[in-house]
Amino acid sequence: MSNARRERRKAQRQGKQLPIPPAKQPMPPARQPYRKPQPKGPVYAWQGIPVSFVVWEARIGEVEEGKCPWWAPFSGETRQILQVEDHKGEIWLMDNEDGSALAKLAAGGWPEHQHRGLGKVTMLRAIPQEEWHTVYNKAKAEEITERSLAWAKDNRPEVYEKVMRLRALEK
């Protein structure tokens, strides 16, 4: 038992009036370091820097004679694309039909995450967020690749052969 407690009990037994102890003051909360509020949901970035973008429904343009871009078999079709403006003000058009463009931006926009750039397109309408392809669909990506390769084989066999040699080296 503490001395203060003994003194109080002794004073009570002798019938003395005890002073009312002061109310304990709560300790002020410890100062917390400032933490920048974190946004809810994914942060979309290009090479680690947050970017602004618009998801569009767009029609793929015609391919120039003698060219063999991956989108050639999709010329004239409507696809979901991202129009990204990076920190330098440059505009990038990326196919998002399989969710790869949004997956790249959600992962920080680093080079190790693939995307398919686009050339000429005609923007038809901005797509609301609930219609975005937000999950990468590997089966859809493989279907796009196979369709592009089939087009190259039929229309630009020399390019197709070069791609197939490169693919063989990967294995």
> Cα dist. 156→1, 39, 98, 141, 167 in Å?
96, 47, 25, 21, 17
Q: Of 93, 104, 89, which is closest to residue 141 (Cα–Cα)?
A: 104
Pairing of strands 49-50, 45-46: antiparallel
Domain ranges of the chain: 45-170
Q: Record the tokens describing residue 105, joined without a space.
A: 């931006």
Largest CA-CA distance found in the chain, in angstroms, rounded = 111
pLDDT at 38 over 60: no
Q: Record the tokens describing residue 154, joined without a space.
A: 């039929």
Position 52 scores a pLDDT of 87
Residue 12 CB coordination number (10 Å): 11
Q: Record the tokens describing residue 144, joined without a space.
A: 């796009």
Arithmetic mean of pLDDT over the chain:
85
> What would the pLDDT profile of 65-92 be if each residue is shown by its tens digit?
878 899 999 999 999 999 998 888 889 9
Residue 15 falls in which region: left (phi positive, over 0), alpha (psi -120 to 50) or beta: left
Q: What is the pTM of this model?
A: 0.70
pLDDT at 165 over 90: yes
Distance CA 90, CA 84 (A): 8
Residue appearing with tokens 């942060």 = 43
> Which residues does residue 99 pair with via DSSP β-bridges, in sequence order?
none
Position 78 scores a pLDDT of 96
CB 103 within 8 Å of CB 60: no
Residue appearing with tokens 């973008």 = 53
pLDDT at 43 over 60: yes
Band the pLDDT of 57: cuts 50, 70, 90: very high
Say which range, 33-42, 47-56, 80-89, has the weakest mean pLDDT.
33-42
